[in-house]
Amino acid sequence: MLQLKNIETYYGGIQALKGIDISVDKGEVVTLIGSNGAGKSTTLKSISGLVKVKTGNIVYNGTEIANKPAHETSLLGIAHVPEGRRIFPRLTVKENLLMGSFSVKNKRVINERIERAFHYFPKLKDRLEQKGGTMSGGEQQMLAISRALMMEPKLLMLDEPSMGLAPIIVEQIFEIIKELNQEGLTILLVEQNAYQALQIAHRGYVIQTGEIKLQGNGFDLIKNEEVREAYLA
């Protein structure tokens, strides 16, 4: 479904990605793990078009998408839930959800998608009129994921969905990621919470200072000495 070949991305003179090669097959959960500043978020931003790629190719379902703007990649079915959630704090939960389906005109389809969001996150149902910014961190993460689902993406990219959340909420979010995948959604997951991410991932990549250092299936990476020392300690 998605192949990155030799991706190099810069912020001014700083090279954040130094030739990244990763692939995601349809139906997989693939995770990117690595320390702060390794280049995980930049990889997702390079895919969705939030930052410009200097060299390399990003092929998505047979189409070259490197340097396509974010609104185009989103119309192609790539949803990006950024780090820190970025919901619209002054808009209500319902308005936030509707922003996710801006390209859909059919009201019935929109309502079906809202119902589907409630299936995963029943709590949102009672909160439709609440302002997004007054929700708890966990609720905002649920809203951010639901908003991304409103466009019925083919590829869901999640940037640190567990960040700053209580362990019980983290469990719930990981359960839902697993469920979404079991229902057919392909997921690219960036996580600092390497252990939990590798447990639900089919495959993983370890990024270090803008390069892929290791790759393998989730189980093998959990057992890998280097990974255990650096990321699971």
Nearest approach in angstroms of CB 103 to ligand ATP is: 27
Residue with Cβ nearer ligand ATP (42 or 140): 42
Q: Which stretch binds ligand ATP (CB under 6 A): 9-17, 62-70, 130-138, 175-183?
A: 9-17
HSE-up (13 A, CA, CB side) for residue 94: 8
Taking Cα atoms as reference points, which of 10, 24, 6, 8 lies closest to residue 158?
Answer: 24
Which string of x and - marks every residue 157-196 that binds ligand ATP (by CB under 6 A)?
A: -----------------------------------x----
Task: Report the C-alpha gap between 102 and 26 in whole angstroms.
Answer: 25
Residue with Cβ nearer ligand ATP (16 or 97): 16
- Residue 38 interacting with ligand ATP (CB under 6 A): yes
Choose, by CB under 6 A, the member of 22, 24, 34, 162 that binds ligand ATP. Answer: 34
Greatest Cα-to-Cα distance within the chain, rounded to the nearest angstrom: 52
Choose, by CB under 6 A, the member of 42, 48, 73, 193 that binds ligand ATP. Answer: 42
Task: Report the C-alpha gap between 33 and 36 in whole angstroms.
Answer: 10
Residue with Cβ nearer ligand ATP (42 or 96): 42
Task: Report the C-alpha gap between 75 and 66 in whole angstroms.
Answer: 15
Residue with Cβ nearer ligand ATP (47 or 180): 47
Point out which residues bind ligand ATP (CB under 6 A).
11, 14, 16, 34, 36-42, 83, 192
